[in-house]
Structure 1
């Protein structure tokens, strides 16, 4: 949402791209922290096999969504 809002506030400007890149880095960091927590819960035995696989797949989909939401800021540089 931050990336979309930045592109609406500052259309075709470097400010929007900088905000998009920063928000992407923060979002990928958050997904990475979540992935580490998933691995820890699975290792402790608190997350069974199928639940772990579904959670890992959801994390992969979330990572792809974050990357693809920032893609226009890389392709359409002002």
Structure 2
């Protein structure tokens, strides 16, 4: 399973921004996911249903919904280059 989530207060050593993280125990990982955003809630919901190997990419919560969406799905600049 793979997902992209927000979680500004997640442990950055476990869930670095914009880097895929392989989780073999989602319930244990949820303890490092913080309280804000979608990361902790998503991991808890997964753990309630199954115990899959999961890849998580944590992205920053934007100041606007559009900025958060761009952080999640990416985007390109006006000259066609991938946004960092």
TM class by smaller structure: under 0.3
What TM-score does the superposition give when structure 1 sets the normalisation length?
A: 0.24
- Quick check: which has more Rg, 1 or 2? 1
What TM-score does the superposition give when structure 2 sets the normalisation length?
A: 0.23
